[in-house]
Structure 1
Amino acid sequence: MADRYEVIIVGGGMAGATAACALAHGGVKVALLDGHNPERKWPAGSVDIRVSALTKASQNILERVGAWPGMMQRGVCAYRDMRVFDARGGGELHFDCADTDSSELGHIVENRVTVAALWDELATLPSAICLTSVLVSELQLDAKARQVKLDDGRLLEAELVIAADGSESALRTMMGIEVTGWDYHQSGLVATVTTEKSHQATAWQRFLDEGPLAFLPLKNGQCSIVWTLKSETAKKYLALNDEDFLQMLEKASGGILGKMLAAGPRAAFPLRFQYARRYTDKRFALIGDAAHVMHPLAGQGANAGLLDAAAIAELVIKTRQERRPLSSSRFLRSYERWRKGDNLVMMASMDVINKIYQLTLPPFVGMRSAGMNRVNDTALLKTYFNQYAMGLREDLPRLAKGQACW
């Protein structure tokens, strides 16, 4: 006998847990499945090596689903300025929250902080259940439901299954949904570093020949770095001792934060451009990295996943309120149309910027730096880019506008 739910979500990271919270607030009976029990407590003073730059739109979503207070309690860092430099051409961009209606441009948040706060909120919602240390072994479809068979033999079923199980999504593979994309032959090297100068609540980014180096401010005064390098270079830098690594980092930084004083553990992650050919199937949908993977140079991957979560939750709740089935092709097509185009525009933009900044011929370098300086000197253009970077654009889900969808 199968345990019955309205929606089953597989993958308890940021996108999956956000979708589960939103659905449960709307009274939807939802099960969230994950192969691990997410970390909820950690030693004082430790820092997650993975962080996200969350936009104002993402903050709105997390506030509405009830996770933001728990995130604030654990620690987030508002950034009020963003400074971007072209190391080769001399172009500069400066975005300031003073030019917006907000007191900050966004927040740098450890990934574990967001996930822990979401799971804390899920524990308070009666229509949500979380199952951990489980893996999906099989998906089946009958006339009334999609069945999920677990590796321990249990059988679950729901009107809709949502896959939020990451870029290597097992459920996407089970459904036969193909992906398109390419390897950048780059890796994102991440670490937490201590710098001589204060980060000044500013996100710093310096474009270098192999890729951008970003310093993201943390609440404890340190910075989280995301350094895009050729994969072979990243491998070499991982093998360096701390002293040599800090020397390389200081040179690459151009002195924007003074001397590099200390570095924590380092890791590197391969970078890809990847998107699913389709986001939906019968009683099935993809969200987050299971649907799309983009270059991290503007930190928009997590934000795109949160928008997916908000969009599908809004549509599920609306469809349910209208007493229509969640198997409705109209509902599933609406979700795909809503999110796929927006995601592809963002992904293509990141891809083009990444390629432009790898060009080293003087004419191209001169043109891109001139373009940066033109934007920096044009208030209207800066306002447009500021709003877009904050996630405040057209056709947002209601949660992203700070409105409930239930």
Structure 2
Amino acid sequence: MSQNPPASTGPAPSFVTDALIVGGGMAGLTAAIALARAGLSVVLVDEQPPPLTVTPEFDGRVSAITHASVQLFKALGAYAAMAPFAQPILDIRVSDGRPGERPSPLFLHFHHGDVGPEPFGVMLENRHTRIGLMQTLAGLPQVTVLAPAQATVVERTPAGVRAVLADGRTIAARLVVACDGKASPLRAAAGIKTVGWDYGQVGIVTTVEHEKPHHGVAHEHFLPSGPFAILPMTGNRSSLVWTERKDLAPALMALGHEAFDGEVRRRFGDHLGRVVSVGPHFSYPLSFHMTTRFVDTRLALVADAAHAVHPIAGQGLNLGLRDIAALAEVLADGKRLGLDPGDGEVLARYERWRRTDSLIMGSVMDGLNRLFSNDAAPVRLMRDLGLAAVNRLPGLKRFFMHHARGTVGKLPRLLEGKPL
């Protein structure tokens, strides 16, 4: 297909590009770098001013970055700026219990050395991930970042994409990549349906300091209201991702500092000594959705625009990074064949690659949350026995450890640390 810009009968566009990316979160920033590495020109549009998005107040969350996703950031040239702030995840311990009680003696323990010398991944504060990605983008002349800016009109036809910004500037592109979040306006405008549900749960996120070192161990402690994850950060700090019932969460968030810390300690335990929360607390509703399609005419959905899963195993961001790696690879391969990046067959390959994997991962996360957010005694006994059984079956245990590393399935080249 022709590589010429889409024809226009009106004034010349302000920007002409191969790919327009709408949304400048971690997914949008990564997609811009990956598509540039694939040889495409890129315009990234985001509503937020970049200085705001790297403040602790904007996003105080911490994300688990799997080994495969670390390889992607390395291959994109972005990881060097992130590495000083990254805490390796050396062990994972999964247990069951109730607030104020000792965890069940039946548990599952993963040690990274059982599957290789490198850690399962790293814990990284979202703002440091954003800073590393922004620094990398600054060195890519084929990427134009427009922020703050809003795409008020995005028209897609077989001939090309035309976008109009709120300030009147226009963009002509061959492909638009939707990185515009769970409520994706681009997805809605394309008429792409989603299947999903609300969990009736809220995720409470905060950072704590503790007396004893964590030794790089991540804890997934299942409580009646949902998982309570203790995730190691640099220094004697951990990030908590605390799943709570939606009806109880507002009262917890309204507690004073001492009372809130008391509730944290009831769930955290004393294995790391005294625990004190530091910085702000965040909360957000938990839900699941999966789109019926990942593509439309000259449109590709990635990350939250395509799927949102429960944070039970910290795979949400990594699932989106797998989307980006796959999309960049099919576009790079298409470019070598002289294909238009918005070509229907190119996008169909992306959808085939990612939809099944995303559906399987989302279903597994949903099933685990339902299984472990249940306090019925027979169910608790069966899942405790299941954890203990997996702990004693080396083959099955290694399979789950490879899942934790993000190294299961057909991996895009970037997730293996290879160039496009």
Which residue type is aligned with residue 326 of structure 1?
Answer: P
Counterpart selection for 1:52 from 48, 57, 63: 63
Q: Deviations over 1:97-123 (max 9, x none)?
A: 111213311100011111211111111
Secondary structure, aligned partner of 2:50 = coil
C-alpha distance in structure 1 between counterparts of 2:300 and 2:130, whole Å: 21
Which residue type is aligned with residue 81 of structure 1?
Answer: D
Q: Return the TM-score normalized by structure 2.
A: 0.92
C-alpha distance in structure 2 between counterparts of 1:220 and 1:33, whole Å: 36
Q: CA deviation at 1:55?
A: 0.3
C-alpha distance in structure 1 between counterparts of 2:236 and 2:89, whole Å: 12
Q: Deviations over 1:376-404 (max 9, x none)?
A: 11211111100111001121111001111
Counterpart selection for 1:127 from 142, 155, 159: 142
C-alpha distance in structure 1 between counterparts of 2:175 and 2:59, whole Å: 33
Unaligned runs of 5+ in 1: none
Which residue does the alignment assign to 1:343? Answer: 358
Counterpart selection for 1:333 from 325, 332, 348: 348
C-alpha distance in structure 2 between counterparts of 1:21 and 1:321, whole Å: 18
Which residue type is aligned with residue 94 of structure 2?
Answer: V
Q: Does 1:389 align with 2:409?
A: no
Q: Does 1:24 align with 2:36?
A: yes
Q: CA deviation at 1:47?
A: 11
Q: CA deviation at 1:254?
A: 3.2
The answer (yes or no) to whether the contact 2:54–2:128 under 8 Å persists in 1 is no
Q: Does 1:361 align with 2:376?
A: yes
Paired residue total: 403
Which residue does the alignment assign to 2:9? Answer: none
C-alpha distance in structure 1 between counterparts of 2:223 and 2:255, whole Å: 20
Q: How does 1:174-253 map to 2 (within 5 A)?
A: 174-253=189-268
Q: How does 1:238-277 map to 2 (within 5 A)?
A: 238-277=253-292
The answer (yes or no) to whether the contact 2:175–2:341 under 8 Å persists in 1 is yes
Which residue type is aligned with residue 166 of structure 2?
Answer: D
C-alpha distance in structure 1 between counterparts of 2:262 and 2:59, whole Å: 23
C-alpha distance in structure 1 between counterparts of 2:333 and 2:301, whole Å: 19
The answer (yes or no) to whether the contact 2:158–2:297 under 8 Å persists in 1 is no
Which residue type is aligned with residue 21 of structure 2?
Answer: I
Which residue type is aligned with residue 87 of structure 1?
Answer: G
C-alpha distance in structure 1 between counterparts of 2:391 and 2:206, whole Å: 30
Q: Does 1:299 align with 2:310?
A: no
Q: Does 1:63 align with 2:94?
A: no
Q: Deviations over 1:259-302 (max 9, x none)?
A: 22343211111000011121110000100101100000100000
Which residue type is aligned with residue 207 of structure 1?
Answer: F
C-alpha distance in structure 1 between counterparts of 2:119 and 2:82, whole Å: 16
Q: Does 1:85 align with 2:99?
A: no
Secondary structure, aligned partner of 1:393 = coil
Q: CA deviation at 1:216?
A: 1.0
Secondary structure, aligned partner of 1:394 = coil
Q: Which moved more, 1:361-370 or 1:80-89?
A: 80-89
The answer (yes or no) to whether the contact 1:39–1:112 under 8 Å persists in 2 is no
Q: How does 1:3-42 map to 2 (within 5 A)?
A: 3-39=15-51
Unaligned runs of 5+ in 2: 1-11, 99-103
Secondary structure, aligned partner of 1:266 = strand
The answer (yes or no) to whether the contact 2:200–2:286 under 8 Å persists in 1 is yes
The answer (yes or no) to whether the contact 1:279–1:291 under 8 Å persists in 2 is yes
C-alpha distance in structure 2 between counterparts of 1:142 and 1:205, whole Å: 47
Q: CA deviation at 1:38?
A: 2.6
Secondary structure, aligned partner of 2:304 = helix
Q: Deviations over 1:311-333 (max 9, x none)?
A: 10111111111012223221111
Following TM superposition, where does structure 1 have runs of at least 4 consecutive aligned residues deviating by more than 4 angstroms?
Answer: 40-43, 45-48
The answer (yes or no) to whether the contact 2:178–2:184 under 8 Å persists in 1 is yes
C-alpha distance in structure 2 between counterparts of 1:384 and 1:134, whole Å: 44
Which residue type is aligned with residue 304 of structure 1?
Answer: L
Q: CA deviation at 1:15?
A: 1.6
Q: CA deviation at 1:41?
A: 9.7
Q: Deviations over 1:113-153 (max 9, x none)?
A: 11211111111112111111111111113442111111111
